[in-house]
Amino acid sequence: MIQRYMTTHKGKILVIRHHEKLLALLLRDNQILSAQVMEEIKHAVGHIHVGKVQSISENIGAAFIDLGGGYLTFLPLAEVSQARLTNRRPDGSLKVGDELLVQISKEPIKTKLAGVTTRLSLAGQYSVVSLRGKGRASGVQVSSKLDGAARLRLQNTEALTEIAERYRLIVRTNAGGLTDTAPLIQEARELSAVMDRILETGPYRTCYSCLYEGKPNYITFIENAYRSEYDEVITDLPEIYDGLFAYCAQSGIPLRLYEDALLPLYKLYSTEARLQELMDKKVWLKSGGYLVIEPTEALISIDVNTGKYESGKEKEETYYRINKEAAKMIAIHLRARNLSGMILIDFINMKDRKREQELLQYMQELLKQDPVPARAHDMTPLGLMELTRKKTAPSLARQLSSQKGV
């Protein structure tokens, strides 16, 4: 059956209702590049709390921090030296009963507790302001994805260097699209002012207080998307339009409220069918080959097959072309499905080891475009490519698993 989709050659961010929950989607070239189901939860990633040390396990190098109501989280002991204690003077140690400022850094996944960090961080569209670790030099850090001239200019912007004297300041890739640094400077100043208030008031707040809830998660989704990937934000939800309008107007992002009751926004862009494609194990390639994506408890396995392709005389060169096509599709699906951890890819076997290395380098370049840190490491003796991608949230499949219809 041929699916007829609304064409999305120019990127769109949709914020819609999906089975009674908010869903944000980044669509481009008729593909979902990124998606997130948004639940209103008390302990969300980015929230900053005054927590209490319930127990310490030297064996696994972790402290278990209670955020209130028995909600336990996991703090690596490597971060203890940077802890901001609120019940006593810090001395580089951590004791059961200590109260400290922590920020939720990872959602709970399966049987694993949510992760917290003492390295408090506030992110905007163009910048990130965080506490500077001990021994880390001051100075403006600029995304390596920007060109050398832009990085040098931003590193030497006086208003930014002043902030970088007090906090660690990172200029994000999105800042590269600005013709004027004023929005970047304004945002960085606002974030540093918020951090000032958190550090000033934190020691006087009662244990289990939430000091910072951050922005609505649909705003964070927009901030984390590269500005070059979309040209407008669309929603059909009047109840969140005002919040989106305030943010988009300040950021110069076109926003549209979709109001056609006869053709709902999710049907216009066929979101149900697109999401279902991201749940399927088999992904077809234009060449006739296909991928088989198999998430397991330990790792993600991806197999590349020639499929319907009929081999000709230049078999080795053709395999290389199919492998390159597969690599590009894999990079898209890792991000769209939010697959993370250890990933092994079994590409079509090539006898030419030079081609194998070219394929590895090509994958490394593709992964640089992913907002989530990802890396192609090497080819194993058995010809498998090893990748890793940072775990930031549950996979899209897990996010959707509690909903009906997907």
Q: Is the pLDDT of residue 358 over 90?
A: yes
Domains in the chain: boundaries: 12-39+217-271, 48-117, 121-212, 280-396
pLDDT class for 9, splitting at 50, 70, 90? low
Q: What is the rounded distance in angstroms from the CA atom of residue 377 to the CA atom of residue 389? A: 11
Instruction: Considering the domain delimited by 280-396, tell me its CATH architecture.
Output: 3-Layer(aba) Sandwich (3.40)
How far does the chain reach from its first CA to its final CA, in angstroms? 19
CATH for 12-39+217-271, among 3.30.2310.20, 1.20.59.10, 3.30.1300.30, 3.30.420.40?
3.30.420.40
Q: How far is CA 362 from the centre of its chain?
A: 22
Percent residues over pLDDT 90 in the chain: 69
The answer regarding whether domain 48-117 maps to CATH 2.40.50.140 reads yes
CA atoms within 13 A on the CB side of 248: 21
Q: What is the rounded distance in angstroms from the CA atom of residue 30 to the CA atom of residue 27? A: 6
Q: What is the rounded distance in angstroms from the CA atom of residue 152 to the CA atom of residue 140? A: 10
Q: What sign results for the dihedral spanned by CA atoms 31, 37, 43, 49? A: positive
Q: How far is CA 88 from the centre of its chain?
A: 35
Percent residues over pLDDT 70 in the chain: 95
Three-state secondary-structure class, residue 226? coil
> Phi/psi at 57 (nearest 5 deg)?
-120, 105
Higher pLDDT, 238 or 6: 238
**pTM for this model (two decimals):** 0.78
* Size of the chain, expressed as the number of residues it contains: 406
pLDDT score, position 32:
95
